Amino acid sequence: MSKKILLLLSCFMALTLQAQLQKITLEESVLQQGRKFGADKLSGFQWLPNSNQYIYVTDFWKKIVIASAQNTNASTWTTTEEINSSLNSKLGNLFGIIAIDNQNIIVNSNNVFYKYNVASKKGTKYVELPQNAENITWDNAFLKVAYTIENNLYVNDGTSTINITNFADKNIVSGQSIARNEFGIKEGIFWSPNGNDLAFYQKDETDVAEYPLLDINETPGKLNAIKYPMIGQKSEKPRVGIYHFNSGTTVYINPKNNPEDYLTNLAWTPDAKYLIIAELNRGQNDMCLNLYDASLGKFTKTLLNETNDRWVEPEHPAFFPSKSSNNFVWISEKDGFNNLYYYDIEGNLLKKLTNNKFPVREIIGSNAKGTEIYFKATGEKGINMLGYKVNLKGKQSLITKNEGVHNVQVSFDGNWVFDEYSNHTTPSKSLLYNNKGVATTLLESKNKYEGYQIGSAEITTIKAADNTTDLFTRLIKPSNFDASKKYPVMVYVYGGPHAQMITNSFLDGANLWMYWMAEQGYLVFTVDNRGSDNRGNAFESVIHRNLGTNEIEDQLKGVAYLKSLPYVDANRIAVHGWSFGGFMTTSLMLRKPDVFKVGVAGGPVTDWKWYEVMYGERYMDTPLENKEGFETASVLNYVKNLKGKLLLIHGTNDDTVVEQHNLALVKKFVEAGKQVDYFPYPMHKHNVMGKDRVHLIEKVLNYIIENNK
């Protein structure tokens, strides 16, 4: 058989196979990435307290199964049907179950909490909270539960309710996260280890300006005013309350310096005598880790101090390896990368435990003796998330044996590690490691995309605009990619702090709709420029006082790389991004108008003076301190440069990047006589979610396809 015939036969077979594969619809690509196409995992995995047994849920969160480190053959522990039959409850699923021990769990049915014994199959109603109760937080013994209603804090002990705060003034907010969830703050309620005291964040928003949001569901429309502290303006005043149950009294801790300084990273010492709190100045370049007497709320001493010409950003509370000692581990970036430092309660450095040239991401736990600390870190490659352990002498070892993005949980005695990960070729794999590093496979997911037309992603590196730093790139190609053809490109950009678009996970950190876009005959490209996450302080802080400048130059290096590829149509490059990515999209379209033919910017920051204090002042300082930086970064100053087609999108109830950003930009375009397209998503906040997200992605991608010709 001739080579020509073989080639024709090969092409015919490839086309036949392609025709047999199913196509993923746009709706599926938006809504089904984690459902229909989601990898099989041990959902809801948790170690049972003081045990080597573990549980997880199956059957669409309607069944709990149990196994142990010694016997990994899982068996049914309980089901929603079983629990509902016993308690006469109406549980629809087992989201949020809390295991008290290896027999008892707490389940929640519409804020009615039941204590259920799995062995006896009996239970009782434990506590019923109001339907509008939020921020529900149990003490360590599961005897008392704290919660908030509107802006006040309450505790229910099963028999009575205690009003911890009772402020009629709506400007005083207790028991909720503060500082708009910056500095690692995710919650506002902190039980002492013995449950005798309750610490909580409180903020006074009296001086914070109100921002108007319109509720169009009312007739006439109704004003919804939120508190929004903008850069350079008055901010919230934080303090920490400590309620003592024995005396029924509350003491308060205020910032030692400026009332608008930040209090964050709150931690109780194991003996419940002290609180450790990080106080950060509003300028965010001077942090004191302070020790307070919990009984009186009195300052005891400063344990350590960190300063930086750019910023100091504490994100993790003190971690105590042992329950019998107040010695603690602090995560600090002072040497350029997040590393672990071991201190005594007097603030003396006992040991720098890690000395990595890559960042620690978070501490996972410690062994029963408190001699080994488990943590997650990127490793040297930068796009992984791996599991490590280090002892108190500084001996570090890698737990996870495969590259990828790992979720790691350590048993209570520290002898077993559950590891669930994915990487470029692995949808998901669940492993159990013993203390000798030997792994047992619990579950390995099949590839749910088999049988579908889906392209592939290539991860590589290019040099940043400094011609020294490596940047990761991701290029998604269609399943029928032909290197002899010329393809248009959609550049998907974020580019801002605390985000990493490219990871060594399945689909390489991309959204499934990007693969759908590739199937329409596109290349979809992303580069994580300097300023993005998980690469250390020097990489991330190059953006200080000049948001957009270095990021744009790095993105242009990505474009130059694209243009070097023989199969890229250099005249048909589009760009799309949301939030900081929206800022980058408008910046690229206006500051580099000859590069991109089409742009779609969602929820963009257009002038940083309208963004929030906590995030914005870290990176830009204030307009008074950095007039030139704000002027350079404001995309409003470049509207006359627009050459390509531009679509602007915003949620009308966006309380993160308020719509003023986009409307002000549209106004500037009108004044300059420039035509742009604008599409609002009524009543949506910063992200368009739910079924409306299908409409959003269709709007974005169709706009690019129709105009990038």
Query: CA angle, corner 243, sides to 238 and 247, nearest 5?
Result: 150
CA distance linking residue 174 with residue 170, whole number of Å: 10
Nearest to 688 by CA among 588, 597, 589, 582: 582
Residue keyed to tokens 């190059």:
542
Q: List helix spans (H) across 477-623.
A: 512-519, 537-541, 549-563, 580-591, 613-620
What ranges make up the beta strands (E) of 245-334? 249-253, 262-268, 274-280, 286-293, 298-307, 328-332
Rg (CA), the chain: 27
The Cα 444–Cα 460 span in angstroms is 27
Helix (H, G, I), strand (E, B) or coil at 226: strand
For strands 645-651 and 98-99, give the pairing.
unpaired
Q: Which residue has the tokens 């550049």?
A: 491
Active-site residue, from 244, 424, 498, 686 = 686
470 given a catalytic annotation: no
Residue 229 CA to residue 610 CA, distance in Å, equals 9
Q: Distance (Å, rounded) from C-alpha 627 to C-alpha 536?
A: 27
Handedness of CA 160, 165, 166, 171 (dihedral sign): negative
Tell me, yes or no, if 579 is annotated catalytic. Answer: yes
User: Active site includes 654?
Assistant: yes
Sheet holding 405-410, edge to edge: 405-410, 417-423, 426-433, 439-444
- Report the alpha-carbon distance of residue 279 to residue 541 in Å, rounded: 21
| Catalytic hit among 261, 554, 654, 684 | 654
Stated length of the chain: 709
Instruction: Write out the two tokens for 91.
Output: 């549980």
Q: Is the peptide bond before 680 cis (omega within 30 degrees of 0)?
A: no
Among residues 428, 579, 587, 634, the one annotated as catalytic is: 579
> What is the token pair recorded at 413?
């005695």
The whole-angstrom separation of Cα 135 and Cα 158 is 17
Q: Residue-wise over 438-477: b if at least 16 C-beta within 10 A, else e?
A: ebeebbebeebbeebbbbebeeeebebbeeebebbbbbbb
CB-based contact 636:591 (threshold 8 Å):
no
String of DSSP letters for 128-188: E--TT-EEEEE-TTSS-EEEEETTEEEEE-SS-EEES-----TTEEESS--GGG-TT---S
Q: Are 59 and 44 in contact (CB under 8 A)?
A: no
User: Catalytic residues, which ones?
Assistant: 579, 654, 686
